[in-house]
Amino acid sequence: MRGIDPPRSTRLAPGLLVQALVALGAAAALAGAALAATSGRATLGGAAEVLALAAVGALTRRYGIGLPGNGFSSYVLGVMAFAVLDRGWALAVVVAPLAVGAGDLLLRRLPPRAVLGNAVHLTAGSAAAGLLYARVHGASGAEALVQANFGPLGVLLVALPVIANGTFYLALALDRSVAWVEPRLTARWEAIVYTTSALLALAWLRLVHAGLEPETTAAAGALLAAATAGSAYVIRRAVRADELQLIQGLSQTIAGHISLARSFPRIQELTRRLVPWEHMGFARYDARAHQMELVADTAVPKERAAFRFDADAGLTGDAVRLRHPVIAHGLRRDQVVLPSDETPGSEVLLPLYHAGELVGLWSVRHSDPGMYRDSDGALLALLAPQLALMLAVESSVQPVVGASDRTAGYIRTLTATMQQIHAASEEVAAAARRASQDAAQATKLVSAATRESETLKQNAADVAAAGDETREAGAQMEQTAGKVRLETQGAVRQLTDLGATADESAGEVRRLRDVAEQVEKFSETIGFIANQTNLLALNATIEAARAGVHGRGFAVVADEVHKLAEQSGREARNVGRSAQETRRALDRAVQLLEHIRTDLSQVVHGSASWVEDLGRIAEAASGTARAGKRVAEVARSIADLSGRISQSLAQGKEGAEASTRETGAVAAAAAQQLKAIESLRHGATELASIAQHLAQAVRLTRGENGHP
**For position 292, which CATH number holds?**
3.30.450.40
Split the chain (708 residues) into runs of 10 and give each run's mean pLDDT.
Answer: 43 74 94 90 85 95 79 91 94 96 91 91 96 95 93 96 90 61 77 95 93 91 93 88 73 65 78 79 89 85 73 85 87 71 83 89 84 79 79 68 61 67 65 65 65 66 67 70 71 74 74 76 79 81 78 76 79 78 77 75 70 70 69 67 66 65 65 68 67 60 50
Give the pLDDT score at 131: 95
Domain of residue 436: give its range.
401-701
The angle, 0 to 180 degrees and rounded to 10, between the axes of the packed helices 183-208 and 150-175 is 150
Amino acid at 462: D
The answer to the question of residue 361 being in a domain is yes
Give the pLDDT score at 225: 93
Taking alpha carbons only, the member of 285, 346, 366 closest to residue 320 is 285
Give the pLDDT score at 2: 41
- Cβ proximity of 76 and 65 under 8 Å: no
d(CA 360, CA 282): 7
Asked whether residue 581 falls in the same domain as residue 690, the answer is: yes
Asked whether residue 192 falls in the same domain as residue 84, the answer is: yes
Give the pLDDT score at 670: 63
Asked whether residue 486 falls in the same domain as residue 564, the answer is: yes
Q: How far, in Å, are 514, 528, 571, 573, 576 from residue 522 at the CA level?
A: 12, 10, 12, 10, 8
Asked whether residue 470 falls in the same domain as residue 333, the answer is: no
The angle, 0 to 180 degrees and rounded to 10, between the axes of the packed helices 384-547 and 260-272 is 100
* Other CB atoms within 10 Å distance of the CB of residue 415: 16
Taking alpha carbons only, the member of 315, 305, 245, 309 closest to residue 274 is 245
How many domains does the structure of the chain reveal?
Answer: 3
Give the pLDDT score at 432: 61
Residues 6 or more apart in contact with residue 308 via CB below 8 angstroms = 286, 289, 291, 292, 293, 294
d(CA 199, CA 602): 135
- Cβ proximity of 122 and 108 under 8 Å: no
Taking alpha carbons only, the member of 70, 63, 66, 57 closest to residue 7 is 70
The answer to the question of residue 706 being in a domain is no
The secondary element (H helix, E strand) that includes residue 26 is helix 15-39
Amino acid at 612: E
* Other CB atoms within 10 Å distance of the CB of residue 618: 19
Taking alpha carbons only, the member of 287, 282, 255 closest to residue 350 is 282
Q: What residues are paired with 73 via a beta bridge?
A: 65
Q: How far, in Å, are 181, 306, 332, 616, 653 from residue 312 at the CA level?
A: 33, 19, 18, 105, 87
Amino acid at 554: F
Give the pLDDT score at 27: 96
Q: How far, in Å, are 6, 314, 339, 444 from residue 349 at the CA level?
A: 18, 11, 17, 91
The angle, 0 to 180 degrees and rounded to 10, between the axes of the packed helices 214-256 and 384-547 is 60
d(CA 340, CA 622): 95
CATH number, residue 602: 1.10.287.950
The angle, 0 to 180 degrees and rounded to 10, between the axes of the packed helices 183-208 and 76-87 is 40
- Cβ proximity of 65 and 73 under 8 Å: yes
SS3 state of residue 218: helix
The answer to the question of residue 678 being in a domain is yes
- Cβ proximity of 345 and 277 under 8 Å: no
The answer to the question of residue 268 being in a domain is no
Triad 350, 355, 361: Cα angle to 5°: 20
Region of 45 on the Ramachandran plot (φ > 0 left; ψ -120 to 50 alpha; else beta): left
The answer to the question of residue 137 being in a domain is yes
Give the pLDDT score at 245: 74
- Cβ proximity of 155 and 132 under 8 Å: yes
First to last CA, the chain: 51
Taking alpha carbons only, the member of 23, 205, 245 closest to residue 120 is 23
The answer to the question of residue 357 being in a domain is yes
At 704, give phi and psi (nearest 5°): -105, 15
- Cβ proximity of 579 and 516 under 8 Å: yes
d(CA 350, CA 79): 39
d(CA 651, CA 647): 7
- Cβ proximity of 68 and 273 under 8 Å: yes
Asked whether residue 377 falls in the same domain as residue 406, the answer is: no
d(CA 344, CA 463): 105
Asked whether residue 473 falls in the same domain as residue 352, the answer is: no
The answer to the question of residue 90 being in a domain is yes
Asked whether residue 236 falls in the same domain as residue 294, the answer is: no
Residues 6 or more apart in contact with residue 601 via CB below 8 angstroms = 499
Q: What is the DSSP string of 519-543?
A: HHHHHHHHHHHHHHHHHHHHHHHHH
In the chain, how many H helices and how many E strands? 13, 8
SS3 state of residue 277: coil
The secondary element (H helix, E strand) that includes residue 203 is helix 183-208
Asked whether residue 552 falls in the same domain as residue 695, the answer is: yes
Asked whether residue 337 falls in the same domain as residue 485, the answer is: no
Q: What is the DSSP string of 425-488?
A: HHHHHHHHHHHHHHHHHHHHHHHHHHHHHHHHHHHHHHHHHHHHHHHHHHHHHHHHHHHHHHHH
Residues 6 or more apart in contact with residue 127 via CB below 8 angstroms = 25, 26, 29, 32, 33, 89, 92, 93
d(CA 267, CA 298): 12
Asked whether residue 160 falls in the same domain as residue 308, the answer is: no
Asked whether residue 534 falls in the same domain as residue 653, the answer is: yes
- Cβ proximity of 53 and 79 under 8 Å: yes
Q: What residues are paired with 286 via a beta bridge?
A: 291
Q: What residues are paired with 294 via a beta bridge?
A: 283
The answer to the question of residue 707 being in a domain is no
Pairing mode of beta strands 326-328, 279-286:
unpaired
Give the pLDDT score at 10: 45
SS3 state of residue 444: helix
d(CA 68, CA 245): 11
Asked whether residue 249 falls in the same domain as residue 355, the answer is: no
Q: What residues are paired with 256 via a beta bridge?
A: none
Give the pLDDT score at 418: 62
